[in-house]
Amino acid sequence: MKLWNKDATKYSEAVEAFTVGRDREFDLMMARHDVEGSIAHVTMLGEVGLMTAQEAAAAIKGLQDIRREITEGRFHIEEGVEDVHSQVELLLTRQIGDIGKKIHSGRSRNDQVAVDIKLFLKERMAAIRTEAHGLFHTLLDKGWAHREVGLPGYTHLQVAMPSSVGLWLGAYAESLVDDLTMLSAAYTVTDKNPLGSGAGYGSSFPLNRKRTTELLGFTTLNWNAAYAQMSRGKTERLVAMALACLGSTLARLSMDACLYLGQDLGFLVFPPSLTTGSSLMPHKKNPDVFEMIRGKCNRIQSIPNELALLSANLPSGYHREMQLTKEILFPAFDELADSLRMAGMMIQAMEVRADILAAEKYRYIFSVEAVNQLVNQGIPFREAYRKVGNEIEAGHFQFDTAKPLGHTHEGSIGNLCYAEIRAEMDNVMASFPGLTTNPS
């Protein structure tokens, strides 16, 4: 069954296989959203008189039955049926007869799939938001519990200045604030209803697009019918950019964890149940979880570029390659959600060695502190810098690490500003239209 086919003429099976591709596979992921879009559309058709009240009620009940099939896992796209839209209409027509053929009035598959994708993206972004929020709190809780444990800070992969577990994990928590700011922006752009735009040029039917917007839980609508279709590809690209930001944070955190777990540094310890061994080397405790997170998230960072190339230089209107956005973007949601969840589990179970900075190899990490002490005694900075540098070159630099370092400014190891970072996250969580502030 093909909604666009006007007669029984068969067209090339090769053409069908090539153009449909993996579309049915990803259509199943949007089946519930497709039915919900149809329920809203039929409700509106009944209200504006394009279906009688009795017809609309019968169609809505039939669609609700199909939605139940979907949620119970009994729904599938039959052989010979082109897509989820065709399957839903076919099932409905079998249930209620010719009334089922009326539900497409004032619609095109173009705006139908655009609605499905936006509802799917909103739902999946909300789930990612929840997972990221959970990891955020795990990072701050673990960081606060180890806030006074010193770590070396690095620049150019060279030992630089004193850091701490609290500063390290707090940095990634604040990074998630910015990532969710990006996700909130993508969510806001997605939260616009394209239904009623038809093939991109509207309809002569008296559709009530504000009503379907309300019924589907969108905050607003794509007002211009042509832009509603032009937003295909662009919306997915913006969402992918937000996912890529989260992926970047996770990949970087994972790289840190891989380095810090290694025997050369040995800052961190993970339970044996969370690391893997070697078939040859009995001493190995490999950070496979973090390596997989790093790999998955690096791959997610490539998706915006892939989507940009797919939609580059397209003129206005709909184009068939837009269906490929689903197979590029949709799998990333599960990959990222799993990565966020696993990162949280690893950080929660992580143990930190307490005496890291006592090692002789970190002696020069306190050189800036020595310079600052001289400056506080009234010595000009440049002279203090030269004095300490000469001591290091001569090999007799000493620093009393028993004294507190006295870092007090905002965001330093002595003033982590966790409360402020939590407040920033609260503000970002509240910026997602229509979602609860605290999902966890």
For 233-271, what is each residue's pLDDT tens digit? 999 999 999 999 999 999 999 999 999 998 889 999 988
Q: Please say if the pLDDT value at position 20 is more than 80.
A: no
SS3 369: helix
CB atoms within 10 A of CB 361: 9
CATH code of the domain occupying 118-194+223-358+409-430: 1.20.200.10
> How big is the CA angle at 228 (ends 191 and 244), to the nearest 5 degrees?
55
CA 133 to chain CA mean position, Å: 11
DSSP-assigned letters across all residues of 266-320: --EE--GGGSB--SS-TT--B-HHHHHHHHHHHHHTTHHHHHHHHHTT--SS--G
Greater model confidence, 9 or 119:
119
Where does the chain hold its CATH 1.20.200.10 domain(s)?
A: 118-194+223-358+409-430
Measure the CA–CA gap between 32 and 70, rounded to whole angstroms.
6
Q: Is the predicted pLDDT of residue 1 greater than 80, yes or no?
A: no
- Look at residue 4 in the predicted model and tell me its pLDDT: 46
Most distant CA pair in the chain, distance: 94
End-to-end CA distance of the chain: 43
Euclidean distance between CA atoms 326 and 304, whole angstroms: 13
- Which fold, 13-102? Fumarase C; Chain B, domain 1 (1.10.275)
Residues 295-351 pLDDT 10s:
999 999 999 999 999 988 888 888 888 889 999 999 999 999 999 999 999 999 999
Contact 240, 332 (CB under 8 A): yes
Half-sphere exposure of residue 151, counting CA atoms within 13 Å on the CB side? Answer: 23
Q: What pLDDT is stored for residue 240 in this prediction?
A: 98
279 versus 307: the higher-pLDDT residue is 307
SS3 221: strand
Distances (CA, A) of 91 to 26, 65, 104, 170, 362: 19, 10, 14, 53, 70
Cβ(296)–Cβ(207) below 8 Å: no
Q: What is the pLDDT of residues 147-167, one digit of tens each?
A: 999 999 999 999 999 999 999
In the chain, which segments carry CATH 1.10.275.10? 13-102
pLDDT-above-90 percentage for the chain? 74
107: closest CA among 43, 41, 48, 47? Answer: 41
